[in-house]
Amino acid sequence: MADQFAVSPLAHLYEALSAATVTGDRGVALAELPFLTMVNVRVDPASEAAARIEKALGAALPRECGATSAAGPHTAVWQGPDEWLILSRAEPAALTGELKEALGTSSGSVVDLSANRTTLQLTGPSARDVLEKGCPLDLHPRAFGPGRALSTTVGPVPVLLWQVDDTTYRLFPRASFADYLGRWLIDAMAEYRAPAIP
């Protein structure tokens, strides 16, 4: 019952996010995707428990830095040699319960972090240019492309940055930093309303 009264961290910026949209060749848009399920999983990747978790997800747990794997509503994001963040459209309690059951009595943990962060989606031809104003990662396609996800900063805000496709990025800041990051991105997008300087 309480979920029907939930307010997302950026609900107060809905109109500002929408108004910041830039169309055309230099287009870029920003939106919050609230209430995405996020579950942290820690388990020995060589264990039977890991195999059970993979079966429950329908996707392999990625084994290298920056890698992701996806199946159905779930995406597993590498966070460390024995740690993953599961992003999902499934109901948080149900997914957490299923993964805890798969873990069983094995060493490790399954923790619902859904309320800890929110999701910002930046999309459009200028999305990478906007991020490059304040992200220390090399975001050129030779180094960072669709399916890659890494912990970094954008402006001064720590985020998990996931490139979904050629022009779409999702940023996962802690809920308490979401307002600052949203306003930072809106400001960084503003120049793309004007024509490019030759």
pLDDT at 27 over 80: yes
pLDDT, average across residues 61-83: 97
The 3-state DSSP class for residue 3 equals: helix
Rounded Cα distance between 27 and 157, Å, is 24
Tell me the CA distances in angstroms from 60 to 44, 67, 77, 111, 156, one per residue in order. 13, 11, 10, 19, 33
State if pTM tops 0.85. yes
Please say whether the beta carbons of 181 and 171 come within 8 A.
Answer: yes
Please say whether the beta carbons of 62 and 76 come within 8 A.
Answer: yes
**CATH of region 8-34+116-192, choose from 3.40.50.150, 3.30.1360.120, 3.40.50.1820, 3.40.50.1700:** 3.30.1360.120
Side-chain-side CA neighbours of residue 66 (13 Å)? 10
Side-chain-side CA neighbours of residue 74 (13 Å)? 26
Q: Per-domain residue ranges for the chain?
A: 8-34+116-192, 37-112
Q: How confident is the model at residue 1 (pLDDT cuts 50, 70, 90)?
A: very low
pLDDT at 3: 61
Report the chain's mean pLDDT, rounded to a whole number. 95
**CATH of region 37-112, choose from 3.40.630.30, 3.30.70.1520, 1.50.10.20, 3.20.20.140:** 3.30.70.1520
pLDDT at 4: 62
